[in-house]
């Protein structure tokens, strides 16, 4: 990966450019004019970095505490079934498959909950540890002191692995 922020210009496919994979009117990204890196190379680098960060976190901090805010109206369901990825989401994250999202601090978890614009009412803070999640997906960022943006799982987090640690009213 290059040391500069790559830009990938977009071009419009015209009839003369068409082949079996490209159609007229499609827009495609071209390599960075400064370094020649392709968009695919860039995505592969990002995925490798994400996987390395995830592997390091799982190896060195498997017992890291993680937090999740949920409306208190769901307390009964969570006490009975745990956190389920198929439930209506309360976070602003966009992910293809349903997932349960966690942060490494209560305040960061709150800021991720609808970008901090959660619905008015009472909210419960649930705690678990990283080792209790099935196939966690770690999302890193250089913008946070911990380097951790969010941890997601596409699997249920069982009630035995959750602790209700507090509530707040918005």
Distance from C-alpha of 138 to C-alpha of 147, rounded to nearest angstrom: 10
Q: Is the pLDDT of residue 90 over 60?
A: no
On whether both 49 and 100 belong to a single domain, the answer is no
> Nearest to residue 29, comparing CAs of 9, 15, 13?
9
Mean pLDDT over all residues of the chain? 85
- Tell me: do 76 and 154 sit in the same domain: yes
Q: Does the residue 40 lie in any domain?
A: yes
Name which residue leads in pLDDT, 114 or 152.
152
- Domain check: are 70 and 127 in the same one? yes
> Per the structure block, which two tokens stand in for 141?
């960022």
Q: How far apart are CA 128 and CA 146, in angstroms?
A: 18
CB 69 within 8 A of CB 114: no
Q: Are residues 49 and 91 in the same domain?
A: no
Whether residue 4 contacts residue 35, with contact meaning beta carbons closer than 8 Å, is answered with yes
* Residue 3 located in a structural domain: no
Is 4 inside a domain boundary?
A: no
Predicted TM-score (pTM) of this structure: 0.72
For residues 108 and 161, membership in a common domain is answered with yes
Burial of 66-77, coded b for 16+ CB within 10 Å and e otherwise, reads: bbbbbbbebeee
pLDDT tens-place string over residues 54-89: 888 888 888 899 999 999 999 999 999 999 997 765
1 within some domain:
no
pLDDT score of 1: 45
Which residue range is the domain that position 100 belongs to? 62-169
Q: Between 6 and 77, where is the model more confident?
A: 77
pLDDT of 103 reads: 93
pLDDT of 117 reads 60
Q: Are residues 100 and 152 in the same domain?
A: yes
Q: Tell me if 5 is assigned to some domain.
A: no
Domain assignment present for 143: yes
69 and 112 fall within a common domain: yes
Please provide the size of the chain in residues: 170
CB neighbour list of residue 47: distance below 8 Å, 6 or more residues apart:
none
User: How many independent structural domains does the chain possess?
Assistant: 2
């Amino acid at each position: 990966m290059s040391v500069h922020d790559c830009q990938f210009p977009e071009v419009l496919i015209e009839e003369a450019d068409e082949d079996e994979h490209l159609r007229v009117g499609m827009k495609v990204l071209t390599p960075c004019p400064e370094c020649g890196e392709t968009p695919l190379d860039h995505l592969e680098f990002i995925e490798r970095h994400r996987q390395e960060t995830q592997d390091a976190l799982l190896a060195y901090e498997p017992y890291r505490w993680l937090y999740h805010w949920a409306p208190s109206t769901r307390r009964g369901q969570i006490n009975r079934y745990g956190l389920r990825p198929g439930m209506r989401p309360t976070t602003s994250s966009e992910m293809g498959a349903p997932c349960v999202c966690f942060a490494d601090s209560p305040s960061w978890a709150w800021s991720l909950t609808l970008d901090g614009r959660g619905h008015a009412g009472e909210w419960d803070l649930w705690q678990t540890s990283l080792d209790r999640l099935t196939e966690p997906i770690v999302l890193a960022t250089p913008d946070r002191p911990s380097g951790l943006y969010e941890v997601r799982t596409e699997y249920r987090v069982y009630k035995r692995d959750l602790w209700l640690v507090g509530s707040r009213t918005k």
